[in-house]
Amino acid sequence: MGGKQIGFSDSVQTTTKKHTKREQLLTNIKAVVLGETYIYLIEQCYSKIRSKGGRPPYPLKSMPRIHLMQQWHDLSVPAMEDTLIEVPTMRRFAGTPWWAGL
C-alpha cells in the first residue's frame, strides 16, 4: 500500500450523507469557476520542483482554490496552511491531503 492513511475525521466526512452549506457552495464553485482554461494559463508560470531541493509546491490545481479561500477568509499563508490541515471541507475543496502542509 502506498501513500498515507486518511484521518478519522476525513473518513467520517467522506461517508456522511448530509452536506453542509459550505460544502455545497465549494462544490458549486469548483464546478463552475475553476476550469481547465485557468489551469492552462497558470501552468506556464507556476514553479516546478527544482533539483536544489526545498519544499515541493502544492499541486497546480490546488493553488487557485487555496488563493480563493485565502482571500475569502482573509488568511495569511501560515494561517491558510493551518486551516488546510484542520478543516476537512476546505482541504477537500483545495484537493490536498491533510499531510500536504507538513
Q: Higher model confidence: residue 78 or residue 38?
A: 78
- Sign, CA torsion 70/94/30/34: positive
pLDDT at 100 over 60: no
Residue 64: all three cell numbers together: 487557485
Greatest extent of the chain over all pairs of C-alpha atoms, in Å: 46
Residue pLDDT, tens place only, 13-60: 556 667 788 788 887 877 776 667 777 877 887 777 767 777 777 778
